[in-house]
Amino acid sequence: MWPFKKANQMNYRTIDPNFAVAGQIQPDQIEALAAAGFKSIVCARPDNEEPGQPSFRQISAEAEKLGIKSVHIPISGGISDGSVKAMKAALKNLPKPMYGYCRSGARAGSLYGAAQRS
């Protein structure tokens, strides 16, 4: 199992020094991400995937208040070439370390891996 770390009651898995993944985050947890040193957020979850889920816009607005950059690369089904291209651009242009999330962290981690391999 991957090593888990905690940031204000949030469990996340560090893939490498530049990228960590986790499940859905809440707007009130963004401050903890900033305190943990994350500079960018990658959301791999489509909006409205599940009732009660905060929208990417809500997450992004809170992140912006704290100087954290964010990008939405929603994955539904398989990872497309366009998603990999968007992730590669995010990895090139956004500050690190990055925090990727989706429902469980699996899509965010797979997206990161696909971008690294291509």
| Residue 72 falls in which region: left (phi positive, over 0), alpha (psi -120 to 50) or beta | beta
How far apart are the C-alpha atoms of 56 and 96, rounded to whole Å? 19
The reply to whether 61 falls in a domain is: yes
Q: Show the domain range for 77.
A: 4-101
Per the structure, the count of domains in the chain is 1
The partner residues of 19 in beta bridges, in order of sequence, read 16, 98
| Residue 42 falls in which region: left (phi positive, over 0), alpha (psi -120 to 50) or beta | beta
Determine the number of helices (DSSP H) and then strands (DSSP E) in the chain. 4, 6
The reply to whether 114 falls in a domain is: no
Is it the case that residue 74 has pLDDT exceeding 50? yes
Model confidence, pTM:
0.90
Give tens-digit pLDDT for 50-66.
Answer: 999 999 999 999 999 99
The reply to whether 106 falls in a domain is: no
How far apart are the C-alpha atoms of 118 and 114, rounded to whole Å? 6
